[in-house]
């Protein structure tokens, strides 16, 4: 069972409505077998099909968030305690939850960037990152993206394609077309240079260049782990979660 795989917007809506009364004793399967349906009158047979106009990807993201919270409740107090112990164990190896922000646009929380409003109000308007040409010249250098312009591109893509994604990244995200090399002119050649330290991964740069798909699986899992998302699944699922997670960090109110 995986409630995250459920694509029925009505069911998701109803599940999220049921969240108003936390039920920590419920077992996960109860949701699929006998979902609590306090508003059963909302459940109409699906014909004739009436398009649901209200839900959009932003609400979907909120529903996901609520599902995650729900899962926290499902795991019960014992699991919650275990989950909290892990960072303590990790700290013994020299890792803390709080880090020195690796970039001006990053926060002191791992895998987390500031919101778009915060960045623009602090005059952070362009985001730089290191790339390497995999064409003729092999040069490594920095390029920059205009924050607002590039973010609008990403947001526009999500708005247009979200309905067809079904919680999985489309091909354009899995195998992105890379920027053209400024030095040798080779198209589709600038690969982001990934930091060897996961905490220093330039997430916002990767988002704006729509190059999240260049991340190794372990980096995507790192992002999902520290942003409290599911971190199992195929790459297309993790790439999707990372895009949507970063979008939400930039636009937390939507
Ligand atoms: Zn080149």
Measured in angstroms, how far is the CA atom of residue 207 from the centroid of ligand 1?
22
Judging by DSSP bridges, how do beta strands 190-192 and 126-133 pair with one another?
antiparallel
Distance CA 244, CA 24 (A): 27
Q: Which two tokens stand for residue 238?
A: 């993790």
Distance CA 242, CA 212 (A): 8
Q: Are 169 and 157 in contact (CB under 8 A)?
A: no
Measured in angstroms, how far is the CA atom of residue 211 from the centroid of ligand 1?
17
Burial status of residue 180 (CB atoms within 10 A of its CB: 0-12, 13-18, 19 or more): middle
Element containing residue 232 per DSSP (H, E)? none
Give the count of beta carbons closer than 10 Å to the beta carbon of residue 214.
Answer: 18
Among 221, 254, 253, smallest CA distance to 237 is for 221
Distance CA 203, CA 24 (A): 34
Distance CA 249, CA 247 (A): 5
Cis-peptide, bond into residue 8, ω within 30° of zero:
no
Measured in angstroms, how far is the CA atom of residue 130 from the centroid of ligand 1?
13
Give the count of beta carbons closer than 10 Å to the beta carbon of residue 169.
Answer: 24
Q: In what order do the strands lie in the sheet with 140-146?
A: 140-146, 126-133, 190-192
Measured in angstroms, how far is the CA atom of residue 135 from the centroid of ligand 1?
5
Measured in angstroms, how far is the CA atom of residue 209 from the centroid of ligand 1?
17
pLDDT tens, per residue, the chain with 254 residues: 444 444 444 444 444 444 444 444 444 433 333 344 444 444 444 444 444 443 444 455 455 444 444 444 434 444 444 444 444 444 444 578 799 999 999 999 999 999 999 999 999 999 999 999 999 999 999 999 999 999 999 999 999 998 999 999 999 999 999 999 999 999 999 999 999 999 999 999 999 999 999 999 999 999 999 998 877 789 999 999 999 999 999 999 98
Among 57, 241, 250, 249, smallest CA distance to 158 is for 57
């Amino acid at each position: 069972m995986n409630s995250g795989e459920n694509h029925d917007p009505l069911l998701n809506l109803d599940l999220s409505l049921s969240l108003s009364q936390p039920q920590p004793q419920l077992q996960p399967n109860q949701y699929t077998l006998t979902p609590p349906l306090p508003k059963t009158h909302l459940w109409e047979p699906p014909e004739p099909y009436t398009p649901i106009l209200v839900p959009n990807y932003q609400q979907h993201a909120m529903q996901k968030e609520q599902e995650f919270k729900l899962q926290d409740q499902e795991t019960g107090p014992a699991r919650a305690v275990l989950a909290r112990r892990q960072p303590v164990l990790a700290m013994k190896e020299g890792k803390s939850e709080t880090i020195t922000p690796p970039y001006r646009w990053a926060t002191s929380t791992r895998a987390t960037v500031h919101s778009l409003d915060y960045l623009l109000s602090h005059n952070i308007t362009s985001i730089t990152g290191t790339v390497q040409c995999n064409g003729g010249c092999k040069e490594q250098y920095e390029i920059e993206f205009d924050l607002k312009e590039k973010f609008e591109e990403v947001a526009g893509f999500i708005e247009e394609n979200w309905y067809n994604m079904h919680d999985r990244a489309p091909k354009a995200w899995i195998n992105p077309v890379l920027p053209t090399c400024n030095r040798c002119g080779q198209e589709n050649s600038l690969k982001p240079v990934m930091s060897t330290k996961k905490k220093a991964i330039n997430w916002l740069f990767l988002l704006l260049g729509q190059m999240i798909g260049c991340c190794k699986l372990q980096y995507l899992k790192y992002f999902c782990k520290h942003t409290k998302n599911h971190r199992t699944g195929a790459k297309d699922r993790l790439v999707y979660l990372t895009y949507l997670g970063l979008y939400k960090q930039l636009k937390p109110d939507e």
